[in-house]
Amino acid sequence: MAYEGILFGMGNPLLDISAVVDHQFLEKYDIKLNNAILAEEKHLAMYEEMTTKYNVEYIAGGATQNSIRVAQWMLQIPGATSYIGGIGKDQFGEEMKKNSKLAGVNVHYQEDESTPTGTCAVCIVSGERSLVANLSAANCYKSEHLKRPENWALVEKAKYFYIAGFFLPISPDSVQLVVDHAVANNRVFSVNLSSPVICEFYKEVLDRFLPYADFVFGNETEARTFSRVNAWETDQVDEIALKISQWPKASGTRKRITIITQGLDPVIVAEDGKVKKFPVIKLPKEKLIDTNGAGDAFVGGFLSQLVQEKPIEDCVKAGCYASNVIIQRSGCSVPEKPDFR
Pairing of β 160-164 and β 7-10: parallel
DSSP string over 35-48:
-EEE--GGGTTHHH
At a CB cut-off of 8 Å and minimum separation 6, what does 231 contact?
Answer: none
State the Cα–Cα distance between residues 20 and 55, nearest whole angstrom: 7
CA 303 – CA 320 distance, rounded (Å)? 12
**What is the C-alpha to C-alpha distance for residues 83 and 140, in angstroms, rounded to an integer?**
16
Rounded to whole angstroms, how far apart are CA atoms 304 and 35? Answer: 26
Sign of CA dihedral 182, 184, 185, 188: positive
Distance of CA 106 to the CA centre of its chain: 17
Query: What one-character DSSP code corresponds to residue 169?
Result: T
What is the C-alpha to C-alpha distance for residues 133 and 140, in angstroms, rounded to an integer?
14
In sequence order, what DSSP letters do the residues of 57-114 get, joined into one string? EEEEE-HHHHHHHHHHHHHT-TTSEEEEEEEESSHHHHHHHHHHHHHT-EEEEEEESS
Find how far residue 161's CA is from the centre of its chain. 12
Degrees, nearest 5: CA angle 61-64-69:
65
CB 247 within 8 A of CB 210: yes
Active site residue 180: no
Which of 238, 265, 296, 314 is catalytic? The answer is 296
Distance CA 198, CA 190 (A): 16
- As annotated, the active-site residues are 296
